[in-house]
Amino acid sequence: MDLLTQMSQWAELARSGGELTAWQNFAVDFYQAFLEADRWQQYLEGVGTTLFVTALALLIGVVLGSVVAFIRVTHDQQRAGHKNPLLGILNLVCEVYSTVIRGTPMLVQLYIMGLVIFSSSREFTLVGALSLGINSGAYVSEIIRGGLMAVDPGQMEAGRSLGLNYLTTMFLIVVPQAIKSVLPSLGNEFIVLLKDTSLITVIGGQELLYAARGVMNRTYEQMFPLLGTAAIYLVLVMIFTWLLGILERRLRQSDHR
Amino acid sequence: MIIAENLQKSYGGLDVLRGVSLTVNKGDVVCLVGPSGCGKSTFLRCLTRLEEPTGGHVYLDGEEVTEKGIDKIRARMGMVFQHFNLFPHLTVKRNITLAPTRLHRMNKAQADQRAMELLERIGLADKADAYPSSLSGGQKQRIAIARALAMDPEVLLFDEPTSALDPEMVGEVLELMKELARGGMTMVVVTHEMGFAREVANRVIFIDEGIIKVDKPPKEFFANPENERLKTFLSKVL
């Protein structure tokens, strides 16, 4: 008799009130957490959603962060006496955004997005991804801003002195050099986001932790679903850290500086 | 050709330029010398508004240089920097062709051809597809000069072009600059190379304390300096 059938029989026995040894109980808990009724598929779906939410949030974060960083750097590089009023307003908006998002807890932001702003929406996962993206954007904007400011000012001067305008110089000369220096930090942000997606479960986002909670509610057993979830996150993070390491080495190799 | 009128620049409370007026004629090779911190680089940078002057005017061929239309003006005034400022993520050839193609001076094929001509002229044609990081300081500066020349500027401004170079590389850059001067290029050069000033310039200007103290042909400038500050300066650098 193979182990699987054995465990399902023990589970039957437990449900009908039979006595089990400690080892048998342990095996039944494991069986119910992952194998019974093909529950591992729920975790797998959860992982899929987690990765999707991470990717979507990162995309929103990078787009938002780039726009904010660009506005702030452009604003700061204006000369005294030549300030553009529109840019001043945009810069103020960006600063408020950055301050509010970075000054309030992620969890509170999620509740506000899920229960107040989008209280009538049933797309919990998407609302969660949007909230994460907006949150991430504030941090990404600081990363990108740092990258843009780290490019030697002489590069901007050289571009401008050839007669190229500000935007052309920015996009052809400064940005390409900044991208290389921010990619590792963006990779880090991706990993932080991957773990933070577990938070969206509180507003009903159906990611990995949500799947684990579903199992816990059916089996009244917490240890295996939670440890399993932790292990899955750990493996995901290790895989992505390894991939980022490869990317970083590639970048260094193509470094023309 | 270039007229600077009473140029002033102050940072906070510090007056770096205190009214500098200078006329540069076509074909002039003007060398600006002076103790460090005297404002000579600031003056050069004010001409193309890389620094914004706090007072005074600059005219290029009679047209006032202001923030409006500055990009067109800058395309006519080439600038060579102390630290070269080549674009590290682009090949040598692309460094040279970027501005002419982006500003629609010429198409890609014409720009490539022009770049190769310039590289040929400075003896670095074999480096066309190399990246700046693989070049020596002297090679970088010669390419920076070629990059400025690709825009066919009416005047070239040099901001201490040899100061960041190892001594053995100074010669090749000065040689190229001499060749340009002989070709009739109008040049304004901030430099510490007194030999170059003496040999190539038709005017040497001593800037000190934010104003022009001496403006003379090199022979007189070096042979009988009357200004006390210039005497002290020359006794230190010669």
Contact A163/B at CB under 8 A: yes
Q: 């119910």: which residue's tokens? A: A32
Determine the pLDDT at residue A256: 57
The whole-angstrom distance between A122's CA and the closest CA on chain B is 47
Q: How many helices (H) and strands (E) does chain B have?
A: 9, 10
3-class SS at B62?
A: coil
Q: A256–B103: do the CB atoms touch at under 8 Å?
A: no
Which residue of A78, A161, A179, A183 to mutate against B (max B Cβ within 10 Å)? A161
The residue of chain A with its CA nearest to that of B151 is A162
Determine, for residues A160 and B50 on separate chains, whether the beta-carbon distance falls below 8 Å: yes
Q: Is B4 a residue whose pLDDT tops 90?
A: yes
| Residue A257 C-alpha, separation from nearest chain B C-alpha, in angstroms | 5
Complex ipTM, two decimals? 0.93
User: Hey, what CATH topology would domain A43-256 get?
Assistant: MetI-like fold (1.10.3720)
For residue A216, the model assigns a pLDDT of: 86
Amino acid at B70: I
Question: Between chain A and chain B, how many beta carbons pairs sit less than 8 Å apart?
Answer: 72
Q: What angle do CA A36, A40, A45 make, to 5 degrees?
A: 140
Task: Tell me whether strands B2-11 and B14-24 are parallel, antiparallel or unpaired.
Answer: antiparallel
CB contact under 8 Å between A162 and B75, yes or no, is: yes
* Regions of chain A where pLDDT drops below 70: 1, 254-257
d(CA A168, CA B99): 10
C-alpha to C-alpha distance for B114 and B100, rounded to whole angstroms: 10
Residues 44-63 of A with CB under 8 A from B: none
Joined together, the tokens standing for residue B68 give 């409006």
Distance from the Cα of A151 to chain B's closest Cα (Å) equals: 11
Nearest to B88 among A162, A165, A257 (CB): A257
- For residue A79, list chain B residues with Cβ-Cβ distance below 8 A: 52
Collect all residues from B whose CB is shorter than 8 A from any CB in A.
Answer: 48, 50, 52, 67, 71-72, 74-79, 81, 83, 85-89, 98-99, 102-103, 131-133, 144, 147-148, 151
Residue A226 touches chain B, beta carbons under 8 Å? no
- Indicate the length of chain B as a whole number: 238
Query: Residue A255's pLDDT is what?
Result: 65
The predicted model scores a pTM of 0.86
Mutation for testing the A interface, residue in B91, B102, B104 having most A CBs under 10 Å: B102
Write out pLDDT tens, residues B65-74. 998 899 999 9
Report whether pLDDT(B123) > 80.
yes
The answer to whether residue B195 scores a pLDDT higher than 80 is yes
Q: What is the pLDDT of residues B142-192, one digit of tens each?
A: 999 999 999 999 999 999 999 999 999 999 999 999 999 999 999 999 999
Q: Give the pLDDT confidence score for residue A175 in this predicted structure.
A: 95
Q: Read off the pLDDT of residues A208-225 as tens digits, 9 standing for 90 and up.
A: 898 888 888 888 888 888
B159 within 8 A of B130, measured Cβ to Cβ: no
A156 at interface of B, judged by CB pairs closer than 8 A: no
Judged by CB atoms closer than 8 Å, whether chains meet at B48 and A176 is answered as no
Q: Which of A203, A236, A6 is nearest to A116 (CA)?
A: A203
Residues in chain A: 257
The mean of the pLDDT values for chain B is 94
Q: Which residue of B has its CA nearest to A177?
A: B89
State residue A71's pLDDT score: 96
Which of B67, B71, B77, B81 to mutate against chain A (most A CBs within 10 Å)?
A: B71
Closest residue to A162, CB basis, from B52, B99, B133: B99
SS3 at position B102: helix
Residue B176: what pLDDT?
A: 96
Q: pLDDT tens across B10-60, in order?
A: 988 889 999 999 999 999 999 999 998 889 999 999 999 999 999 999 999
Q: For a pLDDT cut of 70, what percent of chain B falls above it?
A: 100
Between chains, do A162 and B147 touch, taking CB under 8 Å as contact? yes
Summarize the confidence of residues B104-133 as an average pLDDT.
Answer: 94
- List, in order, residues 6 or more apart from B74 with CB less than 8 Å away: A160, A161, A162, A163, B48, B49
Cα B238 from Cα B231, distance rounded (Å): 10
Residue of B nearest to A166 (CA): B71
